[in-house]
């Protein structure tokens, strides 16, 4: 027996958090009856429907995308803008969704999958999966400003976890700089808000690395499937905090 939201997530319908929302909204049926209890457990013999569609198990798939700027990190968009899943539609039959998100104006490494448990492990702050960004800034951060980011800086939704941050280059005449920053949280527009908090707003942002993964060999809009070994290593990293 497994919790209903976990089964929905495993089936690739949505992340576990989204699955919980669907249950609470009365959009999930088990054996023809609407279920709104998050603690409900189901077996392999139970018939589950989400939004009137019978749940079918899919093979798990895992992709690494070089997300271009100007694309939404979502499955659908009510404004009709291009989403990251649109890039896969012609070639990937599984119902995949992005692991976390990158802002509309942010480019770089984004994972997509139909494995809700994997997505949870990759995004929840308690698993401390590092994400590294390159930020082009308006202004030049002070040493004190960088130290604030390294210690954790107070934002409107709370203090951030300590970040690894360094300034890789700067131009005093143009009043601009480039910084590399590594965080393991994933709050909305977090990196942009962190640099704004020290007075150096982000002009351009790119995620270069996700844990040990990078964008080698890919151009914006291109993707590749993760190897079984890479998926295994990511799981081990989430569960133990290290890989050999």
* DSSP secondary structure letters along the chain: -EEHHHHHHHTTSS-HHHHHHHHHTT-EEETTEE---TT-EE-TTS-EEETTEE-------EEEEEEPTT-BSSS--TT---BGGGGTTTT--S--EESS---TTEEEEEEEES-HHHHHHHHSGGG---EEEEEEEES---HHHHHHHHH--EETTEEPPP-EEEEEEEETTTTEEEEEEEES---TTHHHHHHHHTT--EEEEEEEEETTEE-TT--TT-EEEPPHHHHHHHHHHHHHS---
Catalytic: 103?
Answer: yes
Of 46, 77, 86, 103, which one is the catalytic site residue?
A: 103
Both tokens assigned to 108: 């770089």
Close Cβ partners of 24 (under 8 Å, ≥ 6 residues apart)? 36, 38
- Could you tell me if 72 and 104 are in contact, meaning their C-beta atoms sit under 8 angstroms apart? yes
Structure-token match 């939704």, residue found: 157
Provide the 10 A C-beta neighbour count for residue 155: 15
Just list the catalytic residues. Answer: 103
């Amino acid at each position: 027996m497994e919790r209903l939201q976990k089964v929905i997530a495993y089936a690739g319908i949505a992340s576990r958090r989204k699955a919980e929302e669907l249950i609470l909204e009365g959009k999930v049926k088990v054996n023809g009856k609407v279920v709104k209890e998050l603690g409900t457990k189901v077996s392999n013999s139970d018939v589950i429907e989400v939004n009137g569609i019978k749940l079918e198990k899919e093979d798990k798939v895992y992709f690494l995308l070089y997300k271009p700027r100007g694309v939404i990190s979502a499955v659908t968009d009510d404004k009709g803008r291009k989403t990251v899943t649109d890039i896969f539609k012609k070639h990937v039959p599984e119902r995949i969704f992005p692991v976390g998100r990158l802002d509309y104006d942010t480019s770089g490494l984004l994972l997509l999958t139909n494995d809700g448990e994997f997505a949870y492990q990759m995004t929840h702050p308690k698993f401390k999966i590092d994400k590294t960004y390159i930020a082009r800034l308006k202004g030049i951060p002070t040493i004190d400003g960088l130290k604030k980011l390294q210690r954790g800086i107070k934002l409107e939704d709370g203090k951030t976890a300590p970040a690894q941050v360094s300034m890789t280059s700067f131009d005093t005449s143009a009043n601009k700089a480039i910084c590399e920053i590594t965080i393991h949280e994933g709050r909305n527009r977090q990196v942009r808000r962190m640099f704004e908090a020290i007075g150096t707003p982000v002009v351009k942002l790119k995620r270069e690395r996700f844990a040990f993964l990078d964008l080698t060999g890919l151009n914006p809009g291109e993707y590749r499937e993760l190897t079984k070994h890479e998926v295994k290593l990511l799981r081990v990293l989430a569960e133990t905090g290290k890989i050999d």
